[in-house]
Amino acid sequence: MTFDSQAYAVQLEEKVTRLRDLLAPFDAPEPAVFDSPLKNFRLRAEFRLWREGGDRHYAMFSQEDKRTPILIEAFPIASLRINELMPQLKAAWKASAALSHKLFQVEFLTTLAGDAMITLCYHRPLDEHWHAAASKLATDLNVSVIGRSKGKREVIGHDYVVEKLDVGGRTFSYRQPEGAFTQPNGTVNQKMLNWAYDALGDRPDDLLELYCGNGNFTLPLATRVRKVLATEISKTSVNAALSNLSENAVDNVTLVRLSAEELTEALNEVRPFRRLQGIDLKSYEFGSVFVDPPRAGMDPDTCELTRRFDNILYISCNPETLAANIAQLHDTHRITQCAMFDQFPWTHHMESGVLLTRR
C-alpha cells in the first residue's frame, strides 16, 4: 500500500463533498475538516493466524473473499507500537510450543500514551506451561497479555490499557478494557473531543448523554456543565466509565445502565426502572443532549426525545443515518456547526459531528 499525500487529499475532499451534499437540504454551514495521519494511525488490530510453509503468519481476509488469506508481515496503518510488537510476538511463538499450540488469533490494543496489550486466542485449555511462557512474554515485551480459550480468560498484567488525551487544556486519563469499544484512531479522536468541547461551550445547566461508552466524551464535556446524566447499556463500558470518572476526579456525572430507548421511557414516565432508584430525574435542568449512536443512528423515539433540548450535539459514524435523524429534527432545530473527522483514512468511512440549536 502506498501512502501518497495527493491521493489522500483527493479522498478527503470526496468525503467532505459527500457530507456537504447530505447536509445541504438543511442549510448546514461549511464543515470543519479534521484530517488523519496517513499511516500508523490505528491503535488496534486483529489478525487470524494462517499456517503456510510450516509456519504461522498473521492473516486478514477481504470483505469479498473470506476464504483466501492475505498474509501480513507488517501493518503500516497500525501504530508504530503494533508494528514493533508483531515480529517480536511471532519470534516468541516460534520459540515456544506453550505459546503457539492451537493459537489461532491475535489482537493488539495500544494507545498514544504508549501502553499495549496483546490478546492470544486458543482452541485449547490454558495450563501452567502457557502461563509461565505468557508471563515471560509480558515481561520481555513490556505489555499486558490476555489468554482466551473456550469459556476462560487468563490475565497477565492488566485487562486494559490506559490512554491519555489532551482536551481543552487538560489531560484526561482513560482506562480502555480488553474487548470493549474504543476509538481506533487516537489522533483524530483527540481532535473530535476538542471540537465537541468547543461546540458545547460553558453552560450553566445540565447535559444528558446517550451511548456514553467508556466516558470518552463524558469526561471533558462534564467540565462544561453543571452536571451530567449519562447512559450506556454495556456492562464492561459502564465499569470502565466509572473507573475513568473516579480516576479523573470528575464528580458531577451520574451514570445509569440503560439503553437510549429505556431512558426515553423513563423520562416520558412510561414505566419506572429499578436502576434509576435514588435518581431524581426532575432535579435536572437539561439544556443540551449529547449523542454518539451506533451506525443505525437514533431510533425515531430517541430522536424525538432529543427535540426537547435547546442544543443537540451529535457525533455520527454514518452520515446517511445522521442526515435521516436531522430530517426528523429540522423543523425545530437548525445546524449551527458541523465537522468531518477522518477516523478511517483509505476507506469510505468517516465520522461527522453537528451542533443543532433550537430555532
Return binding residues for S-adenosyl-L-methionine. Answer: 183, 211, 216, 232, 292
Angstrom distance (rounded) from CA 259 to CA 179: 20
Reported in sequence order, the residue ranges of 43-114 that DSSP labels E, i.e. its strands, are 44-52, 55-60, 70-72, 103-110
Angstrom distance (rounded) from CA 10 to CA 19: 15
CA-closest candidate to residue 192, choices 48, 330, 341, 328: 341
Residues contacting 330, CB < 8 A, separation 6+:
25, 26
- The SS3 of residue 284 is coil
Catalytic residue (one of 178, 317, 320, 338)? 317
Question: Is 247 an active-site residue?
Answer: no
Partnered with residue 51 across adjacent β-strands are 56
What's the order of all strands across the beta sheet hosting 144-149?
70-72, 55-60, 44-52, 103-110, 116-122, 144-149, 152-156
Angstrom distance (rounded) from CA 312 to CA 108: 35
Q: Is 318 left (phi over 0), alpha (psi -120 to 50) or beta?
A: beta
- 183: its cell numbers: 476509538
Catalytic residue (one of 154, 163, 262, 351)? 351
Identify the helix (H) or strand (E) that includes residue 323. helix 319-329
Residue list, annotated binding site = 183, 211, 216, 232, 292
Question: Is 351 an active-site residue?
Answer: yes
Reported in sequence order, the residue ranges of 123-278 that DSSP labels E, i.e. its strands, are 144-149, 152-156, 160-167, 170-177, 206-210, 228-231, 253-256
Name the pairing type of β-strands 160-167 and 170-177. antiparallel
- The set of catalytic residues is 317, 351
